[in-house]
């Protein structure tokens, strides 16, 4: 009974921490949220103390022992970087953002431990401008390869080879912690917290490219990668900053609308530049359909990584209508 109680209490704590870290995200931050954030932090500190005081290190079960140690580490880190109540407004902003950055790894580790205990919690996807730049650069680079460098056969060879390499690295990460540390040394600044413990988004993106190379046309592939590259980060930023109407899986109506608009405009630009023979009506229909499919795929991705689902969904939408108008 005791281990079960520990895992349930920990699950509630981590959900509360998720809500706190989301509320103080740089894009969401407003001075008005400081009071509610501090109240939430005080609740978390109190619950942490109670949980740790009422449980000992669970013997025999390594997962529960790791969970208990993770809670101890979290309590220590919170006290270490807890924002000072007497700081100025400008300093408070900096301290809360530092708090968010420093607590992200702890959240990712606890989330991974709870998932092994069949108590999954939401992934934390904080605003990360370096990741957004990397995201866009990868998309534009892939688009350039498809349009200027690779033949369809070359795309299959490169796409499948890249995916095979990424999955090999994932297999090595499971067996050797040093491989994870090596990759995170280079990718730590652009990685989300859960990617330290789960399959990273680059691997899912490589898998999507392999599927597109095998099953899709160059035009549909181009739309899939450009919609992911541009619409996805814009939707995330708009949703965090302006999102008021919640839909599902942390997505908002405002973010989904931003995804659709940016995805459609990006698709029109790609078709206008690389497929100038298409009639304007065809360009508009293919672009809108690809963007709608991409937005819906992002909304319903659930636990599937949207770096895998969005390119496939957008390309599928483009292929479904391109045969009618091209």
Strand partners, 252: 246
Place of tokens 């541009």: 230
Q: How far apart are CA 185 and CA 183, in angstroms?
A: 5
- The pLDDT of 21-37, averaged and rounded, is 87
E-assigned strand segments in the chain: none
Six token digits for residue 124:
């934390």
Sign of the alpha-carbon dihedral angle for 188, 189, 193, 194: negative
pLDDT beyond 90 at 59: no
Per-residue confidence (pLDDT) for residue 58, from 0 to 100: 66
d(CA 261, CA 1): 51
Mean per-residue pLDDT, 123-140: 89
pLDDT reported for residue 2: 43
> What tokens appear for 33 in the block?
């949220």
**Residue 266 to residue 296: CA distance in whole angstroms:** 17
Predicted structure pTM score = 0.84
**What is d(CA 228, CA 139) in angstroms, rounded to the nearest whole number?**
7
Under 8 Å between Cβ of 154 and 146: no
Q: Using CA atoms, how far apart are residues 62 and 235, in angstroms rounded to an integer?
A: 39
Q: CATH code for 2-116?
A: 1.20.120
Dist. CA 321–CA 313, nearest whole Å: 13
- pLDDT at residue 303 is higher than 80: no
pLDDT in tens, 257-272: 999 999 999 999 999 9
Domain ranges of the chain: 2-116, 129-325
Give the number of other Cβ atoms within 10 Å of residue 54's Cβ: 11
């Amino acid at each position: 009974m005791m281990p079960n109680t520990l895992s349930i209490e920990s699950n509630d704590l981590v959900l509360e921490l998720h809500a706190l870290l989301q509320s103080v995200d740089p894009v969401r931050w407003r001075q008005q949220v400081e009071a509610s954030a501090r109240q939430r932090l005080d609740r978390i500190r109190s619950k942490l103390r109670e949980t740790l005081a009422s449980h000992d290190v669970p013997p025999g079960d390594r997962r529960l022992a790791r969970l208990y140690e993770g809670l101890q580490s979290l309590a220590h880190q919170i006290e270490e970087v807890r924002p000072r109540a007497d700081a100025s407004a400008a300093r408070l902003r900096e301290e809360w953002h530092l708090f968010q950055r420093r607590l992200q790894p702890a959240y990712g580790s606890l989330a991974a431990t709870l998932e092994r205990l069949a108590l999954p919690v939401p992934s934390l996807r904080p605003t990360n401008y370096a990741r957004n730049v990397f995201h866009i650069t990868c998309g534009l680079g892939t688009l350039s390869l498809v349009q200027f460098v690779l033949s369809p056969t070359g795309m299959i060879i490169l796409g499948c080879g890249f995916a095979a390499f990424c999955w090999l690295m994932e297999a090595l990460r499971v067996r050797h912690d040093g491989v994870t540390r090596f990759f995170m040394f280079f990718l730590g600044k652009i990685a989300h917290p859960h990617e330290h413990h789960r399959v990273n988004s680059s691997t899912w993106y490589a898998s999507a490219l392999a599927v597109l190379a095998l099953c899709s046309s160059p035009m549909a592939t181009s739309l899939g990668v450009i919609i992911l590259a541009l619409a996805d980060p814009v939707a995330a930023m708009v949703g965090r900053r302006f999102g008021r109407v919640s839909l599902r899986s942390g997505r908002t109506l405002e973010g989904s609308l931003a995804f659709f608009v940016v995805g459609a405009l990006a698709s029109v630009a790609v078709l206008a530049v690389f497929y100038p023979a298409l009639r304007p009506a065809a360009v508009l229909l293919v672009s809108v359909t690809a963007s709608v499919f991409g937005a819906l795929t992002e909304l319903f991705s659930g636990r599937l990584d949207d770096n895998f689902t969005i390119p496939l969904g957008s390309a599928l939408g483009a292929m479904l209508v391109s045969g009618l108008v091209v």
